[in-house]
A = this chain, B = another copy of it.
Amino acid sequence: MRRDIFQAIADPTRRAIIGLIAVQAMTPNTIAEHFETSRQAISKHLRILSECELIQQEQKGREIYYQLELNKLKEIDQWLAQFKAIWENRFNELDNILANLKNKTDENESTI
C-alpha cells in the first residue's frame, strides 16, 4: 500500500476535505454532510489522510475532531521548490543574455 502525501492529495474528495478542515476542525459526520458520498467513504479518506499524517484527531466524548496538519503540506512545497529554483535560474540566464546583449550594444556604440 503506497501511501504518501502526493497520493493523498490526488483524490479530489480528499483535497476538498483538506480545504474544509483547514479552517476549523470537524467531525466525520459534519465533514460527510458536505459531500454526496457516505460517511463511511469519508471515514476511509480520513484514515488515508491520517496515515499520511496530513490530519490529526482529537477525541471529545464520542466525537472525533479532525484537524489539518498544515506543516505536512510543506512537504509538497519542498518538492516544488527544486523546480522553482530551475524556474528562477532560467530567468537569471535570460538576465545574463540581456546583459551581454546590452554590453555588446554598448561596445558597438563606443566604436561608432
B2 and A12 within 8 A (CB): yes
A residues in contact (CB < 8 Å) with B: 2, 4, 6-7, 9-10, 12, 15, 18-19, 22-23, 68, 70, 73, 76-77, 79-80, 82-84, 86-87, 90
Q: Can you list 29 A-B pairs, Cβ within 8 angstroms, ordered by A?
A: A2-B12, A4-B12, A6-B9, A6-B10, A6-B12, A6-B15, A7-B10, A9-B10, A10-B10, A15-B79, A18-B83, A19-B82, A22-B82, A22-B83, A22-B86, A23-B86, A68-B83, A70-B83, A70-B86, A70-B87, A70-B90, A73-B80, A73-B83, A76-B76, A76-B80, A77-B77, A77-B80, A77-B84, A80-B80
